[in-house]
Amino acid sequence: MDENKILLDVKHLCTSFFTPAGEVKAVNDVSYYVCEQEIVAVVGESGSGKSVTQMSVMQLVQTPPGRIFGGKVLFEGQNLLAYKPNSKQMQAIRGAQIAMIFQEPMTSLNPVYTVGNQITEVIRRHKKCSRREAWRLGTAALDSVGIPDPETRMKNYPFEMSGGMRQRVLIAIAVACNSKLIIADEPTTALDVTTQAQVMELLLRIVQDMKKSIVVVTHNLGLVTRYAQRIYVMYAGRIVESGTTEDILTRPAHPYTMGLLKSVPKLEKREGDKLVPIEGAPPNLSYLPGYCAFAPRCPYACQECREKPVPELHSVDGKLHFAACHLDPIGGVRK
């Protein structure tokens, strides 16, 4: 790892939601980094803390009930958590330096404003240019993400576009201000398989041609393995495994990662073969045990897993592959 090329470095991030039922530890001591011109994937089941982690990076967690109470978010060396959420410093970073593509493009775009109005608003906010220049830049942004006849599309309302087209509009908004880092939160939700591939290919091209960095948040491990250089696997608010895509695919060290890989449909499956699900359900984040949260669902769990404290991330191969498990990763079985 070349520290000079690290763009975003998150260290021991903690975010909780305080409810009448108790404290919900949505992000529990999460650390990860993103290098320049890199695609990093954060994967896990719904409720594992993936989206809240990225919202915390952008300081978009609603307070109350949420509160970021620990850790650092270093972007190009400056700690973003040192700024107040509505400060001029954070407002200058959001959209201009770090852009976020939210889930559900239909609800992320305002239905009563044209696409052009929404893109130019973002551009004028950060670039301080004329309305005509912002329109030109917005049209160029739509063209850069492969939207045909961008001048006409600028005058369309979101409901006049398909789901894939709306997702491209959100990506265009993200690249319009030349942001260095793009956070794509479930960018392929509710899209058909063909459109999912097109969106991911577009994100890959943005990294290659525009020299951006991208964090892709998804529950679909099979989708990102072709595009991401590194993968972080989250469960119950923690990162349980991280490594290069090759490491995660060929040498998974945590039983949860193994379960995610087994649940991905494979082309070589014969007719009648069933998917292998992960038994049970994710834990209630208000009542996390003092031991491994995955133990009740783990086929390899033993008494040690239910008695020892939550395992820390440790190196699997002495390099960039880490896992938080008492399991000894010898072919996915316990010694």
pLDDT tens digits for range 177-192: 888 999 999 888 777 8
| Confidence (pLDDT) at 333 | 44
| Confidence (pLDDT) at 326 | 86
Pairing verdict, β 181-185 and 6-19: unpaired
CA-based torsion, 91, 96, 99, 104: positive or negative? positive
Pairing verdict, β 230-235 and 98-101: unpaired
| Confidence (pLDDT) at 10 | 96
| Confidence (pLDDT) at 328 | 67
| Confidence (pLDDT) at 6 | 93
- Residue spans of the domains in the chain: they are 3-97+179-323
Q: State how far the Cα of 17 lies from the Cα of 67, in Å rounded to an integer.
A: 6
- 121 φ, ψ (degrees, to nearest 5): -60, -45
- 188 φ, ψ (degrees, to nearest 5): -115, 15
Question: What separation in angstroms does the CA of 147 have from each of 107, 169, 240, 277?
Answer: 20, 8, 38, 38
Per-residue pLDDT of the chain (335 residues; tens, 9 = 90+): 555 589 999 999 999 999 888 899 999 999 999 999 999 999 999 889 999 999 999 999 988 899 998 899 999 989 999 999 889 899 889 888 999 988 776 778 899 999 999 999 999 988 888 999 999 999 999 998 889 999 999 999 999 998 888 888 988 988 888 889 999 998 887 778 888 888 888 888 888 888 999 999 998 887 888 889 999 999 999 999 999 999 999 999 999 999 998 887 777 767 777 778 888 888 888 888 889 999 999 988 888 888 888 888 988 876 789 999 987 654 444 43
Contact call for residues 54 and 36 (beta carbons, < 8 A): no
State the architecture of 3-97+179-323 in CATH terms: 3-Layer(aba) Sandwich (3.40)
Nearest CA to 242 among 7, 33, 55?
33
Which tokens in the block code for residue 260?
Answer: 């995610």
Q: State how far the Cα of 330 lies from the Cα of 13, in Å rounded to an integer.
A: 31
SS3 label, residue 152: helix
Contact call for residues 132 and 117 (beta carbons, < 8 A): no
